[in-house]
Structure 1
Amino acid sequence: MERTLMLDGSSLTIEAVTAVAREYVKVEISLEAMERIEAGRRLVYELAESDVPVYGFNRGVGLNKDRHIVSKYYQEYNRNLILAHCVAVEPEASEEVVRAVLLVRLNTLLVGCTGIQPAIVTMYKDMLNHRIHPVLPERGSVGEADITCLSHIGLAMIGEGEVDYQGIRMGAREALEKAGLSPVALGPKDGLAIVSSNALAAGKGAIILKDAVDLINIADMMYALTLEGYKGNVSPLEEAAYKVRPFPGQAHTAERVRKYLEGSYLWLPGVSDALQDPLSLRGSCQVHGSVRDALDYVIKYMDIQLNSSDDNPCLLMEERRMISCSNYEVTTWVLGFEMLGIALSHLSRNACYRIIKLGTPRFTGLSRFLTPADTRVIAYGTIQKTFTALDAEIRHLSNPCTVDYFSLAGEIEDHANNSPLVVEKTRKIVDNLFYILAIEAIHGAQAIDLRKATRLGIGTKAAYEAIRSEIPFLEEDRNLTIDIKKAYVLLKSGKLLKAVNRALEQI
C-alpha cells in the first residue's frame, strides 16, 4: 500500500522529511490547514484594498521597502521579485534535498501566517507527488531566509527555468504540462512568501539530523566491536558509574553498548589484562554522549522550525493584521549545528585513535597492523593515512562560521548566520565519519578473527556477521579501497544497524 503523509503545519518530523525526500512518500494537506490558507488569502485582499503599508506586499523588500507597489502591478512585481532573487550559484541541490526543501516550505506555509494563494500551496504538494524537482543552486544564501536559492522554486512554479521531472532535465513549463499542471499566476505577497523562508537550510538540516542519529548509533556499535577485538576493560560501562554522574547522552550510549555486548567473553572474570585502557576506549561513552546531547538540542529546535512560521511579514489572523518581524532568524538552531559539528569532531578523533590502537601490538597483543602473516602481508598499515586525512577535514569543518557575515542591502541587513553553509559542513562531517567508522568496522572484525574470539555479544555478533558478509578476513594484501567502500555502504545504508536490531529483538 502506498504511503501518504498528511501535512497540517504542526506535526512534521525529521523522520518524515527524510521519508518524503528519499522514499518518495506522497503528501496530502489536511482540510483544516487548507482552510487556514484560504482564510489568510481573503485577509490579504482585504488589506490590499485598505492600502495599509505592508513589507513585500504593497511595498518593496530590502532597501526598497519604501517603494509603493500599485495593485494592478502585483503580478508583474512578484514575477520581477522572483527573477531578481535568482542569483545563487552551483552546486545544484540533490534530488533528496530539493524534495526536503519543498516539503519543509509547504508545511511552514500551512501554519497560516503567510497569506499566500492556495494554488501555490497546492503546487508545492503537486511538485512533490509528480516528482517535479526545480533546479536549485545551493550557494548564495547568508541564512536570513534562503531567498537567493528558493527563488528558483518560484521560477519553476511560474513555468520558467529548469526542473528534473521524474529524473529527466527539461524546461519547467514542459514538465508542468506533462504532469497536467498549469503555471501559477502570482498575486500580492506570493513572491516574497515563496523566496523568504529557511527551507533550504532546514530541509537539508533535517535529513542530516536523521543521518547523524543513525551515525551515533553505529558509532556505539563500532565501539562495542572494537572492545571485543581489543579485549578491552568493560568496567567503564558499568551502570553505577553513570548513576552518580547522570549526563543523559553518555548514560544512553553506555546502556546501548552493554546491550550490544550482552553474552560477550569480555564480561568473564579476569579477561582484561589492563587495569585501565587508553582514554579513546575508556571514555568513548562520554564522547559519544556529548554527540547525543548536542543532537537532542538541535532536534528540539529543528522540530520547532519545521512546524512554525518563518515569514516576514507575519499574518496574524486572529488580530486581522500583518506585521514586520524577524521570524526568519534561525541562529538558535544554527548554533546547535555548530555545536554538533564540534562534538562530532571529538567523536572522529576518538574513533581514529581506537583504530590506531587496534593496529598496535603493545596495546592489543595482536600482530602489527592486524596482519595475518608478519613478514609477508602488510595489511592495515597504510590505511591509517586515509582515516587521519578524513579526520583532518572534519577538524577543519568543525570550525564555527556562523558569525562571519557582512552588513548588506544598504546596511539595513546587518545580521546573518550562514545557516546553509553551517548545515552543509555538518553534512560533510557526518559523511566523513561514516567512512571512518567503516574503517573501524574492518579493523574490529579483523582483530576478532585474529584473537579467535568466538563468544561475542548479541549485538556485536550480528554486526560482525554483517561485516563478514561483505568483507572477508584479510588473508592476503588486496585493494582496500574496495573494502572501505563496501563497509561505508553497509553502514550508511542502515543494513548493519537493521541486522543488529533484529538480533536484539530476539532476546
Structure 2
Amino acid sequence: MGKKSIILDGKSLSIEQVTEVAREGLIIEIHENAIQTVEASRALVYELANSDVPVYGFNRGVGLNKDREVVAKYYSEYNRNLILAHCVAVEPEASEEDVRAILLTRLNTLLLGCTGIQPAIVTMYKDFLNHRIHPIIPERGSIGEGDITCLSHIGLAMIGEGEVYYQSIRMAAVEALKKAGLKPIELGPKDGLAIVSSNALAAGPGAMVLKDAEDLVEMADIVYAMTLEGFRGNVTPLDPKTYEVRPYQGQSFSAEQVRKYLEGSYLWLPGVTESLQDPLSLRGSCQVHGSVRDVLDYVKKHMDIQLNSSDDNPCVLLDERRIISCSNYEVTTWVLGFEMLGVALSHLSRNACYRTIKLGTPKFTGLSRFLTPADARVIAYGTIQKTFTSLDTEIRHLSNPATVDYYSLAGDIEDHANNSPFVVRKTAKIIDNLYYILGIEAMHAAQAIDLRKATKLGKGTKVAYEILRTEIPFLDKDRNLSIDIKKAYNIIKSKALLKAVKEAVETR
C-alpha cells in the first residue's frame, strides 16, 4: 500500500494535516482548479506590469527600495539578488520536520493566487515535499512581519544553491535536485518576494505546536487522574452538576475526561476519602486544564485562518484584476494567542509541580516521606523536586510575552513587528519541559498507588499505570533516577500512553 496523500486547494488545510505531512511524510497533490488560479494570477501580473502599473516586488524594489524601478531585462537577476540578499538568518537550523511544515504551509497559501508567482515554483514546493528535499533553514532572524530572512533559504535551494537534506542526507542543493530529476528554477518577476515573504516559518511549526498542546492537556488530565488515585483524593470536584452551574466549556470537558479515566476506580466507593477538601492543586486541576483548552480553541480558530488565507503583500485580487498594497503579513492576532497559551501552560505546569510535591508529603497522603518504600534506608524521591521545579522555572520565564519587543527598521518604514517565530519556538519549549514534568508526576502517582496497594484502578488510569510500569518498575531501592525520568519523558512525548488510554475508555 502506498503512502497516504492529501490534495491541497488553498482553502481546507487543517492543523492535523500539517502535523501528518511533517511527521509522517504524506504525499502532496494539488487540485487542478488551484493550479489554474495560480496560472491566471501570473498572467494578470504580467499584464499589469507591461502596462507600467507600479507593482511592489515586481517592477519596483522592496522595503525602503520600493521607489526603485526594476526593468524587464533585469527581472531574473534582481530576483536572484533579492533571494541572496535576504539570506541573513542564523542558527540553529530548523528540523526536517519543521521544514516540511513550513513548505506545506507556504504551498497552500500560494494556491489562492494572491502572489502572482510562476506556477513552476508552486510545483517545486510540492516536489520538495514529495522527494523529501528539505532546505537548510536557519531559524533565527525573522521578526514575524513576513519571515523574509529565513524563508529566503528555500529560494536558495530552488535556484540550486545552498544545502538541503535529501532523503535525510545532507548535500548541496544542486546535487539533490539532480538526484530527484529536477531542474533549478529560473526566477522571474515577483518570484523572489513571493518566496521570501510569508508567515510560514512560524505558522507551519506553530500548527504542530498547537496539535502537541492539545495532546498535552489530554495527557495532563490522565496524569492528574492517576495522581488522584495515588493521593486518595476527593472526587467531589468532578461532580458534573458543579459544571452545569459554572458552564465554562474547557473545564467541563476536562472533568468529563477525568471521570472517564477513573471509571471503576476505588475512589468512587463510599467513605474512601477522608479529606473534606484537597489542596487547590488537586481540587482545581480540571479548571486549570480547562483554561488551556479554552485558549487552544481561540488560537486554533485563528491558525485555521492563517493556513488557508493569503499573507501576501502586495495582494493580487484576481477577480477585480488589481494588485494592491496591504498588511496581510500581520499575524499579531494569533501570536497573542500563543502568548496566552504559554501563560496558560505555565499555570498547568505549576499546578502539576504542586501536585507532585503533595504526593511526597505524608501529612497530605498518609504515605511515607518522599514515597520511600523503607524509611531510613531508601531516600526515594527526596531530591527529584529540584529537577521538576527548575524546569517549571524555565517555563515561567518562557511564558513572558515577547511579541511586544521590536524596533523600527528598513529606514523607519517597518515600525511594527510581532516576533511570531520566537513566540512559537518558546511555546514549543514550554511543551517539551512539560513532558518531563508530567512524566515525573506520573512516576510519583504510580509509586503512591503501589504504596497504597490500590488495586481497583479506573478504566483509563489502570492502562496508564501499566504502561508506565512496563518501563519504570516500582522504586524499591535507590537507583539512577535520571534514567527513569528520561523513560517517563519518552512515554509522555511519544503519546503512546495517550493513545492506549483513549482506546481503553472508548471501548465499551
TM-score in terms of structure 1 length:
0.99
Separation of aligned partners in 2, 1:141 and 1:244: 46
2:149 is aligned to 148
Q: Which amino acid aligns with 2:272?
A: V
2:92 is aligned to 91
Matching of residues 351-366 of structure 1 within 5 Å: 351-366=352-367
- Secondary structure at 2:165 match in 1: strand
- Work out whether residues 294 and 343 of structure 1, in 8 Å CA contact, stay in contact via their aligned partners in 2: yes
Separation of aligned partners in 2, 1:152 and 1:342: 32
Q: Cα offset for 1:36?
A: 0.5
Q: How many residues align?
A: 507
- Secondary structure at 1:5 match in 2: strand
Separation of aligned partners in 1, 2:149 and 2:474: 51
Pairing 1:471–2:472 present: yes
Pairing 1:286–2:287 present: yes
Separation of aligned partners in 2, 1:219 and 1:51: 59
Pairing 1:488–2:492 present: no
1:449 is aligned to 450
Q: Cα offset for 1:47?
A: 1.1
Q: Cα offset for 1:436?
A: 0.1
Deviations 1:405-460 (A, max 9, x none): 00000100000000011111001000000110000110111100000001111000
- Secondary structure at 1:277 match in 2: coil
Deviations 1:192-246 (A, max 9, x none): 0000000000011011111101100000000000000000000000000011111
2:69 is aligned to 68
1:249 is aligned to 250
- Secondary structure at 1:305 match in 2: helix
Separation of aligned partners in 1, 2:246 and 2:496: 34
- Secondary structure at 1:318 match in 2: helix
1:333 is aligned to 334
- Secondary structure at 1:90 match in 2: strand
Separation of aligned partners in 1, 2:407 and 2:449: 54
Separation of aligned partners in 2, 1:112 and 1:254: 45
Q: Which amino acid aligns with 2:155?
A: G
Matching of residues 266-285 of structure 1 within 5 Å: 266-285=267-286
Q: Cα offset for 1:286?
A: 0.6
2:318 is aligned to 317
Separation of aligned partners in 1, 2:477 and 2:48: 76
- Secondary structure at 1:315 match in 2: strand
- Work out whether residues 48 and 71 of structure 1, in 8 Å CA contact, stay in contact via their aligned partners in 2: no
Separation of aligned partners in 2, 1:55 and 1:159: 26
2:122 is aligned to 121
- Secondary structure at 2:423 match in 1: helix
Cα root mean square deviation, aligned: 0.6
Q: Cα offset for 1:505?
A: 2.3
Matching of residues 102-501 of structure 1 within 5 Å: 102-501=103-502
- Secondary structure at 1:39 match in 2: helix
Q: Cα offset for 1:506?
A: 1.9
Separation of aligned partners in 2, 1:305 and 1:312: 14
Separation of aligned partners in 2, 1:506 and 1:300: 30
Separation of aligned partners in 2, 1:411 and 1:119: 35
- Secondary structure at 1:308 match in 2: coil
Deviations 1:254-293 (A, max 9, x none): 0000010011110111111110000000000110011001
Q: Which amino acid aligns with 1:285?
A: C
Q: Cα offset for 1:159?
A: 0.4
Q: Which amino acid aligns with 2:194?
A: A
2:59 is aligned to 58
- Work out whether residues 20 and 26 of structure 1, in 8 Å CA contact, stay in contact via their aligned partners in 2: yes
Separation of aligned partners in 2, 1:153 and 1:51: 30
- Work out whether residues 87 and 140 of structure 1, in 8 Å CA contact, stay in contact via their aligned partners in 2: yes
Q: Cα offset for 1:80?
A: 0.4
Deviations 1:8-39 (A, max 9, x none): 10111111111111111111101111111111
Deviations 1:70-109 (A, max 9, x none): 0111000000000000000000000000000000000010
- Secondary structure at 2:319 match in 1: coil
Q: Cα offset for 1:54?
A: 1.0
Separation of aligned partners in 2, 1:436 and 1:383: 11
- Secondary structure at 1:113 match in 2: coil
Separation of aligned partners in 2, 1:168 and 1:503: 40
- Secondary structure at 1:273 match in 2: coil
Q: Cα offset for 1:111?
A: 1.3
1:33 is aligned to 34
2:7 is aligned to 6
Pairing 1:505–2:501 present: no
TM-score in terms of structure 2 length:
0.99
Q: Cα offset for 1:168?
A: 1.0
Runs of 4+ in 1 over 3 A off after TM superposition: none
Q: Which amino acid aligns with 1:210?
A: K
Q: Which amino acid aligns with 2:405?
A: D
Give the stretch that moved more between structures: 149-158 or 45-54.
Answer: 45-54
